[in-house]
Chains A and B, each alone.
Chain A
């Protein structure tokens, strides 16, 4: 690797523009966490609850659809307020991209991003191999578990809710689980938890299959193959089809596992990437390739086709 990924972009655009989305994203992650924390810390109750269900200003209910799905499979029906919350959250992520939850909201991302940063800094090479679709097996496992045990069993060990709930209501020994996730990502597997195993991310990626906001590549012809975007992307497999127009893929990342983190936009010195919508794909590519879905399926690694 020649220099630190993004060095070129910093040189070309300046530090701030080359870190714009990263800074915004960190502000969002920390800001959301703070909104939850000012209640218990200072008695300013803006948001009550946690990521499973929260009530903002006694007005806005937000419910994690994944936990409600498990509850339904365990044969329990929530109250209307929670169902409103589910609707709002699903619509929101249909708009902004399902896995935007992972990169803009989830607190574990701070932890695993730190692990990845440290992994690069320490020059830790090599990584255990598990295929990325393992997360869908994890997702299926948690749902089967809910149905079989008749309880939301996954919530007992889910590091995502454990971390968020722990920070707000008291960690207890949850820090050991979080440390395990951190060390796993640092020493065992690159992007191990968020990129391969987390069923919460897998669930939100399914919501994101049809999401409106996507990373577009309006200037993909300008790509100079510096590979910086691949180096920073937590899900690098999503870039290639759109960047290299494999199988006539339009210049938009439609892969459901793109987390819309926007880091590729930051680190590209040629400004190949930009946020946009999934629509209007007939403009740039060859006319007559309007459908994105089948192409998308084909390019999915590991699919037997």
Chain B
């Protein structure tokens, strides 16, 4: 505490230097914390937020890390992230492969949230989007191998809507059916029951955060068949009857395959000027 009546030039210099020192030191610390916080924004794929969680950028601003959602979860599935975990410290998450969300009808975790980090407008748990199940590994999925595992389909709380079994020919045997589990994003809540129940050593179906799991068509894309249905008919030109580009004198029937159509007409000679006997693809300049 120097005499404060008339700060001398030296005192003023000292004050400015001290201020600069503090500002720089604190600024450096702030820079570190800020960069760290930005890194933590990328939610790791195994961490699923509770139902109704805002998108990650908004969530990290709204969640005050109080843990009320953790407390009010009747199944104790939620954890608060510890500092060493690659998730924003203190924020709630669950790991589907460990314990999935039970999808309580009254959604107590959302009700408990004091900040709206879990959106209070979510009233119907079936509308929640915690993540999206993706059948990530076609090589290990038992149904893809031709077995009737079906577990993910059976345990799904939104059975026949979120996961359906689509039948395909088993080309390996030629006579069996593949029951391929197909996830439908408009119904899947990301609860993680399928991932939890998947019997393969490492789950073949996994729940990912939406930003990882979901693709998006470009905005200018139009699905022709949808547009056609909307318009009640073809939009470009009258539909032409489809014709197969078959070798001359052959016909194609579903099931039977190719067969000679009429026993006549010798094959036409190759057109003049077609040059050497090279395949056509190799003749032109363009390939």
Please give the residue numbers on chain A whose beta carbons come within 8 Å of chain B beta carbons, in ascending order.
39, 45, 48-50, 52-55, 61, 63-64, 67-68, 71, 74-79, 81-82, 85, 130-131, 133-134, 137-138, 140-142, 144-146, 148-157, 161-162, 165-166, 168-174, 176-177, 298, 301-302, 304-305
- Give bound CA distance, A137 to B85, whole Å: 29
Name the contact of A39 in the complex, choosing from B22, B25, B57, B71 (C-beta under 8 A).
Answer: B71
Q: CA separation between A49 and B66, bound complex, in Å?
A: 5
Within 8 A of A (CB), among B54-111: 57-58, 60-68, 70-72, 79-80, 82-85, 88-90
B41 with A151: CB separation less than 8 A: yes
Are A161 and B65 CB-contacts (below 8 A) given A149-B34, A172-B82, A298-B4?
Answer: yes
Q: Which residues of B contact A145 (CB under 8 A)?
A: 30, 33-34, 37
Question: Chain B residue with minimal CB distance to A146?
Answer: B61
Nearest chain B residue, comparing its CB with the CB of A49: B66
Query: In the complex, given contacts A151-B41, A174-B83, what are 17 additional A-B residue pairs having Cβ atoms less than 8 angstroms apart?
Result: A45-B71, A48-B72, A52-B64, A68-B64, A76-B58, A77-B116, A82-B114, A130-B22, A145-B33, A145-B37, A152-B64, A155-B64, A161-B65, A165-B65, A171-B82, A173-B83, A174-B82
Distance between Cα atoms of A288 and B213 in the complex (Å):
73
List the A side residues contacting B143 at CB < 8 Å.
none
Assuming the contacts A75-B61, A151-B61, A157-B33, asked whether A85 and B90 have C-beta atoms less than 8 A apart, the reply is no
Q: How far is the CA of A151 from the CA of B34 in the complex (A)?
A: 9
Name B80's closest neighbour in chain A (CB-CB).
A169
Q: How far is the CA of A68 from the CA of B64 in the complex (A)?
A: 7
Given contacts A68-B64, A173-B83, contact A61 B114 (CB under 8 A): yes
Q: Which residues on A sit within 8 Å (CB–CB) of B40?
A: 156
Q: Are B64 and A304 in contact (CB under 8 A)?
A: no
Q: Which residues from B are CB-within-8-Å of A298?
A: 4
Q: B249 an interface residue at 8 Å Cβ cutoff? A: no
Judged by a CB distance under 8 angstroms, whether B27 is at the interface is yes
Question: Of all chain A residues, which has the CB nearest B58?
Answer: A76
Name the B residues within 8 Å of A53 (CB-CB). Answer: 64, 66, 68, 114-115
The answer on a CB contact under 8 Å between A157 and B64 is: no
- Top 3 nearest A-B pairs (CB, nearest first) are A172-B82, A74-B61, A153-B37
Contact across chains for A152 and B63 when beta carbons are under 8 A apart: yes
In whole angstroms, how far apart are the Cα atoms of A168 and B68 in the complex?
Answer: 12
Chain A: minimal CB distance from B188 (Å):
27
14 pairs of residues in contact across A and B, judged by CB atoms under 8 Å: A53-B68, A74-B60, A78-B64, A79-B113, A81-B114, A130-B22, A131-B22, A141-B30, A145-B30, A149-B38, A151-B61, A165-B67, A171-B82, A174-B83
From known contacts A150-B57, A151-B41, A304-B15, infer whether A79 and B34 are also in contact, taking CB-CB under 8 Å: no
**Which residues of the other chain, B, contact A64 by a CB distance below 8 angstroms?**
64
Is A50 within 8 A of B115, CB to CB?
Answer: no
A162/B89 in contact, CB under 8 A: yes
Q: Nearest Cβ in chain B — how far from A236, in angstroms?
A: 12
Q: In the complex, A63 Cα to B113 Cα: how many Å?
A: 12
Q: Are A148 and B22 in contact (CB under 8 A)?
A: no
Are A79 and B30 neighbours in the complex by a CB distance under 8 Å?
Answer: no
Q: Which chain B residue shows the least CB distance to A66? A: B64
* Docked-complex contact A301 and B61, CB < 8 angstroms: no
Smallest beta-carbon distance B94→chain A, Å: 14
Residues of A within 8 A of B113 (CB): 79
Query: Which residues from chain A contact B79 at a C-beta distance below 8 Å?
Result: 169-170
Contact of B64 among A71, A75, A156, A173 (CB under 8 A): A71
Q: A131-B18, A145-B30 are in contact. Are A52 and B38 (CB under 8 A)?
A: no
A67 neighbours in B (Cβ, 8 Å): 64-65
CB proximity to A under 8 Å, residues B23-60? 23, 25-27, 29-30, 33-34, 36-38, 40-41, 57-58, 60
Q: A165-B90, A173-B83 are in contact. Are A50 and B116 (CB under 8 A)?
A: no
Which one of A39, A68, A130, A170 contacts B80 once the chains associate, using CB atoms below 8 Å? A170
Asked, given contacts A150-B61, A304-B7, whether A169 binds B34 with beta carbons under 8 Å apart, the answer is no
B154 within 8 A of A: no
Whether B66 pairs with A52 at a CB distance below 8 angstroms is: yes
Complex Cα spacing A220 to B113, Å: 50
Taking a contact as CB atoms under 8 Å apart, the answer to whether A169 and B116 are in contact is: no
Q: Give Cα A140–Cα B29 distance, bound, in whole angstroms.
A: 12
**In the complex, A74 Cα to B113 Cα: how many Å?**
18
